[in-house]
Amino acid sequence: MTLSNEELTHSLDSVISVIILPYRGGEIDYDGIGKNVDYLIENNHLDDDRPRVIAVAGTSLIHHVAREEQTRIMDFIGKRMGNKGVLMSGIAPNPLADAGELIEAQAKLSRPPDCYLIMPVTGVVDPGGFYDTYMSFAERHAGSCGARLLYYMRESLQAPAAIRLVNDSPHFVGIKVGTTEDDVPAMVDGVNADSGIVMWGIGDRSTGPASKGTKGHTSGVNLGFVKASDAINNAQRKGDYDTGFRIEKELTPIEAIRFRDARKYNYSAVVEAIHHAGWDDVVGGEGGPFNPRVPPAVSAEVKTAIAGILHYH
């Protein structure tokens, strides 16, 4: 069933579980994906019977997956979760025409994504051309297949155009802030309350931004430490920032490894955590394209970082 914009933005005021796509023998492990999806759906600790939100985005290594395979993955996950959650598909707009074709293909699936996360464009980008390009893109694909879009902002210079985009387009339902906490107040003040959501996009260390007005956050460790991520969001929604900060502090060691050196262990540190924990209800895999298993010294760091938080699985 298609969610209204209001229902969708309400659902996104949550933990967005950016799922790990595991690899086995150099190929995507669909059995592993299925196990990971099942775990997240079946282990939902969000208050008020809120649905789980599952995203296939950057931490999933989606940039390294062929377009046809991306659609196959979204088809598989959509069928697996059915109507038990909200599904977000990460789309790299390089080139933009291919991104549009990918949205059109996924929108035709029997259980299509509920929204599409437009990830940062690579290459030369003039902020002056940002607004017009995406306004046209949204009109075209909303008109043809009803697509709703969330923009992932990784450059502070794009903030004014991103705010205009959400305020002016009914098809852009929000902004995922991937820059710094300093950008949050202007984003929250600039986006009209009835136009869309301003979400934090740099992991579970999100309570500071939440205290400044962000709604929801993306989590790359939710698959491993679901109770922690869910509890952080529950606390933020209640305005209980002390609890949010307390739990965040426990996750900081693993998050610090993930975001070290331009996020080079964003994916692989989570894979390593799953291996060290020895869980049999989720699958980390053998490492993926451009993201092998971490070096031995980093593996030891990961083991130490998760030693005190395994109860959050």
Q: What is the pLDDT of residues 254-263, one digit of tens each?
A: 999 999 999 9
pLDDT at 231: 98
Angle, CA of 59, 61 and 64, to the nearest 5° = 155
pLDDT at 127: 85
Mean local confidence (pLDDT), 216-231: 98
**What confidence tier does 125 reach under pLDDT thresholds 50, 70, 90?**
confident
pLDDT score of 41 more than 80 = yes
Mean local confidence (pLDDT), 227-250: 98
**What confidence tier does 103 reach under pLDDT thresholds 50, 70, 90?**
very high
Assigned token pair, 3: 């969610």
**Which H or E element spans position 153?**
strand 149-153
Mean local confidence (pLDDT), 65-70: 96
Residues in the chain: 313
pLDDT at 281: 98
**Mean pLDDT, the chain, whole residue set:** 96
Gap between the terminal Cα atoms of the chain: 30
pLDDT at 77: 98
What distances in angstroms separate CA 169 from CA 99, 139, 191, 225, 305, one per listed residue?
18, 8, 12, 36, 43
Question: Letter for the amino acid at 271?
Answer: V
Mean local confidence (pLDDT), 89-96: 95
- Please state, as a whole number, how many other Cβ atoms lie within 10 Å of the Cβ of residue 95: 11
pLDDT at 1: 65
Domains of the chain: 5-239 (3.20.20.70)
pLDDT at 154: 94
Distance CA 77, CA 55 (A): 10
Mean local confidence (pLDDT), 290-313: 98
Mean local confidence (pLDDT), 65-71: 96
- As to burial, measured by CB atoms within 10 angstroms (0-12 exposed, 13-18 middle, 19+ buried), residue 57 is buried
Give the CA diameter of the chain: 51
**What confidence tier does 192 reach under pLDDT thresholds 50, 70, 90?**
very high
**What confidence tier does 2 reach under pLDDT thresholds 50, 70, 90?**
confident
**231-255: b (≥16 Cβ within 10 Å) or e:** bbbbbbbeeeeeebeebbebbebbb
Mean local confidence (pLDDT), 175-195: 97
Residue 226, C-beta contacts closer than 8 angstroms, at least 6 positions apart: 17, 39, 40, 43, 45, 312, 313
pLDDT at 142: 87
**What confidence tier does 190 reach under pLDDT thresholds 50, 70, 90?**
very high
pTM of the entire predicted model: 0.96
Question: What percentage of the chain has pLDDT greater than the value 70?
Answer: 100
Question: Letter for the amino acid at 158?
Answer: Q
pLDDT score of 198 more than 80 = yes
Mean local confidence (pLDDT), 294-302: 98
What distances in angstroms separate CA 261 from CA 102, 250, 256, 257, one per listed residue?
31, 21, 10, 9
